Amino acid sequence: MKTKVISRYIRSGLLLGLLVFMIPVSLSAQRKGERPAGGKERSSVSKPNSKETGKKQGIKENQTPGETKGTNVNKTDVKTGNKTNVSTGNKTNVSGNTVNVDNSKNVNVNVNKSTVVVANPRPYPRPPYSYGGHSYYAYHPYHYHPYQPYHWGPVYHPWGFFVATIAATAIIVSVANQQYHYDQGVYYVSSNGGYTVVQAPVGATITTLPPGSQTVVVNETTNNYYYGGTYYEKSEKGYIVVPPTAGTVVEKLPEGGKEVKIGEVTYVKVGETYYQPIEKDGKKLYEVVDVKADK
C-alpha cells in the first residue's frame, strides 16, 4: 500500500517537473517566431513606400516632414516654377521677371513727349554748336542766365502734378483715341484716385486760348501762341497744339525743366525740347534749339 502511494507521488512529481520545463521552452519558441535573428520585430503589414507616401502627402524628396510647400500662409498663394504668382494683399503681381505694382497714387503716366522740333525754313546766320555727335542750331548768340521757372497762376500745374479733383468746367479732348481733360491751359489724364497733369498732346484743338497766352514769332509770316510750355497754331476749328518751331523765342519757361550741360554750353531741357538762353533787347529769353545728329 505504501509502495503504491509513493509511486503515485513520484509520478505526480515527474509530471509537475515536466510541465515546469516545457512552459519556458514553449514561450521561448513563441518569442523566436515573433522576432528575427537581429532582434527586430516582424510585421505582417508591409511598410508603405516612402516616395509614394511623400507624393500623396505633397512632400517632395529631401524635404523634412512637416515642412510642406504650397501652403496658404497669410492669404498668400505661391506656385513654384518659372511662372510665379504672388498675391500679398498689396496688389502686387509678380510673374517671372516682370513685376507690376499697383499702389494708390503711385502712377506711372505715359506723358506725351511729342515735342520733336519743327525745322524753320529761315537759314541760320551762324554755324551750329557741335558736341558729342550732335549739332545744335540757333539764330541768336548764346548768353547764359540761370533757369528760373515761371508759374502761370493758381489754375496752372506743371507736368506730372497730381490732383484729386478737377474743375467742373473741364472739357474732354480726344487725340489718337486717348481722352484728356482740359481746363484753362492744363491737360489731365485720369489716374488712380484722381488726375495727373501731362504735356499737351500735339493735335489737341481748343476753341479759346488760355488766359495769359502770349504771341510768339515763328518767322516773317507765321505767329504761334504760347502758354505754359505749349504752342498753339490758329486753325479753322480754333487753336491746335503744335510742336515748337526751331528759332522761336519765349520769355518764360514752365516748371519741370532742367539745366543740361553739353560741353561748354548749358541748355534748359523742357520735356524733350532744348532751349538756349539768350539776351535780346536787354531781356533774358530762351530760343528753341534744333538738335540734329551728325552724319
Note the pLDDT tens digit of each residue in 163-209. 999 999 999 999 999 999 999 999 999 988 999 999 999 999 999 99
* 100: confidence class by pLDDT, cuts 50, 70, 90: very low
Which sign does the torsion angle of CA 67, 71, 77, 82 carry?
A: positive
27-71 pLDDT, tens digit each = 454 454 444 444 444 444 444 454 444 444 444 444 444 444 444
pLDDT for the residue 58: 43
Instruction: Give the total number of structural domains in the chain.
Output: 1
Starting at the edge strand found earlier in the chain, the sheet holding 186-191 runs 162-163, 194-198, 186-191, 178-183, 171-175
pLDDT for the residue 184: 94
Secondary structure element (H or E) that encloses residue 226, with its range: strand 223-227
Q: Does 153 reside within a domain? A: yes
Q: Does 159 reside within a domain? A: yes
pLDDT for the residue 214: 95
Tell me if 106 sits within 8 A of 194, measured CB to CB: no
Q: Does 168 reside within a domain? A: yes
Looking at the predicted structure, is the pLDDT value of residue 275 above 70? yes
Return the C-alpha cell found at 251. 520769355
pLDDT for the residue 219: 82
Q: Does 245 reside within a domain? A: yes
Residue 120 DSSP code: P
Secondary structure element (H or E) that encloses residue 131, with its range: strand 129-131
Partners of 240 in beta bridges: 205, 233
Q: Does 199 reside within a domain? A: yes
Q: Does 249 reside within a domain? A: yes
pTM to 2 decimals?
0.62
Q: Does 25 reside within a domain? A: no
Domain range for 146 is 129-293
Tell me if 42 sits within 8 A of 34, measured CB to CB: yes
Q: Does 80 reside within a domain? A: no
